[in-house]
Amino acid sequence: MTEPNHEGRKMISDAVERRQSRREKWEREVERSLWKNLSMMGALGWLVVTPTLIGVFAGRWLDASLETGVTFSGALTFLGACLGFWLAWKRMNEE
C-alpha cells in the first residue's frame, strides 16, 4: 500500500477548512425566519402601493378640477409608482 502524496492531503485539508469556514459563516449570519421574510414582502408591497394610490387620487382630483382628461392621472400615477419602487429598492438594500 502506498501513502497518498502531500498534494492529496493538502487538497483534502483545504476542502475541510473551506467547509468549516462556510459553516461558521452560516452560523454567524443566520437567515431570517419565514415570518420575517413574509412581513418584509408585505412592507415592500405597501411601499409601492401607497405612493401609487396617492398619485392616482391626486391626479384624478387635478384632472377633475382642471378638466384635463387623464393627463395628471397618468403622470402622477407613473411618478407615484416610480417613487414606490425607489423606496422599496432602498429598503431592500438596507437589510
In this structure, are 18 and 37 located in the same domain? no
In this structure, are 17 and 45 located in the same domain? no
CA dihedral 37, 38, 40, 43 (to 10 degrees): 180
> In the chain, how many domains are there?
2
Question: Grid coordinates representing 50?
Answer: 401607497
**pLDDT band at residue 3 using 50, 70 and 90 as cut-offs:** low
pLDDT value, residue 30: 74
When comparing pLDDT for 17 and 1, which is higher?
A: 17
Q: What is the pTM of this model?
A: 0.63
Cβ atoms of 49 and 84 within 8 Å: the answer is: yes
Q: The domain containing residue 11 runs over which residues? A: 1-30
In this structure, are 45 and 62 located in the same domain? yes
**pLDDT band at residue 88 using 50, 70 and 90 as cut-offs:** very high
In this structure, are 43 and 22 located in the same domain? no
